[in-house]
Amino acid sequence: MDVLALTEISEESELVDVRLENSLLVITLRIPQLDDSTVRISTRTTRLAVDVPIPEGRPHRTCFAELRELKSLTGTNDRGFIVPPADFGALMRDVRDGIYLTYGLRAIESYGLLRIVSARIFVACVVRDLADVRCDVVD
Q: For the stretch 96-127, what's the b/e string if a residue is b when 16 or more beta carbons lie within 10 angstroms of its beta carbon?
A: ebbbbbbeebebeebbbbbbbbbeebbbbbbb
What pLDDT sits at residue 52? 85
C-alpha closest to that of 6 among 27, 23, 25, 20: 27
For the segment 106-127, the average pLDDT, to the nearest whole number, is: 88
Residue 118 and residue 62 in contact, taking contact as beta carbons nearer than 8 Å: yes
Confidence of residue 57 (pLDDT cuts 50, 70, 90): low
Domains of the chain by residue range: 3-137
What pLDDT sits at residue 32? 93
pTM, two decimals, is 0.88
What pLDDT sits at residue 112? 85
